[in-house]
Amino acid sequence: MASDSEKDVDGPLCPVSECGLAVDVVIKTSDAKYFGAHLQNLENYAHGFPPVSFGKRKRTNFLEVEEDSEVVSLMLHFVHNLPQPDLRKIEMDILVRLAEAVEKYLMYSVMNTCRIVMEMRVREDPLGVLAYALKHNHHDVADSAAPEALCMQWKEIRRRLSAAGVVVWGEYREAFLILFREYPNQDVEHPQYPRACHEDAERWRRSVILQLLGAPRLILDDDWRENEIRNQTRLSTCLFCTEGWRTWIYGLARRAMVLPKFIPDCVLPVDIVVKTSDAKYFGTHLQSLESCAEGFPPSSLGEGGLVNQMDIEEDSELPQPDLRQVPIGVLVRLAEAVEKYLIYSSMSIFRLLMGIRAPEAPLGILAYALKHGYPDVADCAAPHSLGISWKEVRKELGPIGTALWGEYRESFLDVFKGHGGSRSFHDDEPPECEEAKLLYYASDELFSSPERILNKDWRDSEVDDAKYLSKCSTCTGGLKLWLEHALEEVEALPKFSTLL
């Protein structure tokens, strides 16, 4: 008895109207549509389709595919020696799905066409194009898509890119953010350089930087740069400033254009070393070998001597060491060994100590918490890890952990961007006050090291330093309130464990 998937279909036709070939295979799509096709054409143009013996019936071969009817119809047009559809005119979401199917079924004659058109239409769906480029190692397409994806929300990035892709995107974006934060102010050569011009320049620079921190790709947009210069020119009659602003923003753009391209590399941590017959050594990934090379011999892994020695002490009847005095690096390695060897009597104390000592090694402890499923420890460690560089985070947390860390960190930056550096502590904004400068210094430090907002000593120090920069009690008091409000918003943010 025939299965439901191979029930008789009343004469499905080939979707190519000009085709005069006999139908000898029926294709069922994911949305339950049927198409007639030709085995010889599939064999010639689509090397990845299942072999002809699959699902063979008395008169007609039957094939069920995962793609929908819109994609399958286009694919069947491309396996004919006839004029082919213009991919520039089809809807973008269909193009993305078609490009994936073409790669899947090894339709070599169409791959380059899809690749070129995807790059041409990158602005219509930058994340779809970037995901496609990463998956199939089209570096040139990824380089075109990545700048367009810089303004996307983290949740959307995580939803549409693989964990490894999120990490590469995050590190690429971070290079832009670092450039914006560290790029120096313009040095305009005035005959006298009046104070009013200095204040205008600083205010405009802050405005531009805040826009770029929220939407990094704008710096690559010629129209946006020119519009910013025109807007500022309307507010100033100083020719020296106008030319200085143009020099500054185009200098920043040139620096952005020479940042490393979005060239994906392997972001998985090396956890196994392979020695070859000619005595060469390569780092690789145990999970990858298990998934893709089942014939590899089992690996032999072990801990360092100090960890093994301390393991024995922990499992003995002798007095045990005071773990509060153990160097934090040793404590992290020992906690890993306790989990590995299932020393249940010690697991709870290590979990407790790792939470208490999280500020000493936040990244290593966060990695431990993620690996062993301790959300309470992760919540203790995550806030203290926010000032650590992306490369270090990548190295310690791996793709999935880094993606979560990036989204958590972004919630802090959103708070600081929301407060901004343009807020005034005065209703009438007297020109002699320095409130803008005070806010800019504080917010600039927080963008570099978001965890500082949780440090009372740092907040008090910022207020004390402000008293030396401004004699206005309204400004210094306003800065203190600004920091307190930012702290309240940060403390109300969802904890790291909510992302798990």
The DSSP line for 309-375 is: HHHHHHTSSSPPP-GGGS-HHHHHHHHHHHHHTT-HHHHHHHHHHHHHTGGGSHHHHHHHHHHHT-H
Q: Whole-angstrom Cα distance, residue 401 to residue 365?
A: 12
When pLDDT is cut at 50, 70 and 90, the band that residue 448 belongs to is confident
Sign of dihedral through CA atoms 422, 427, 430, 435? negative
Contact 307, 343 (CB under 8 A): no
Mean pLDDT of the 290-318 span: 40
> From the CB of residue 287, how many other CB atoms can be counted at a distance below 10 Å?
11
Alpha-carbon distance of 201 to 9, in angstroms, equals 73
For 348-375, the pLDDT digits (tens) are: 778 888 888 998 999 999 999 999 999 9
| Alpha-carbon torsion (285, 289, 291, 297), positive or negative | negative
Q: In the predicted model, is pLDDT for residue 319 greater than 50?
A: no
Question: Domain boundaries in the chain?
Answer: 4-128, 357-500
Instruction: Give the mean model confidence (pLDDT) for residues 464-474.
Output: 65
**Total count of residues recorded for the chain:** 500
Cα gap 236→218, rounded to integer Å: 23
Cα separations in angstroms, 89 against 118, 124, 479: 12, 12, 55
Strand partners for 61: 25, 56
Residue 301 pLDDT: 44
Summarize pLDDT for 13-47 with one digit per residue, the tens: 888 888 888 888 888 888 988 888 888 888 787 77
Residues 4-128: name the CATH superfamily.
Potassium Channel Kv1.1; Chain A (3.30.710.10)
Predicted TM-score (pTM) of this structure: 0.62
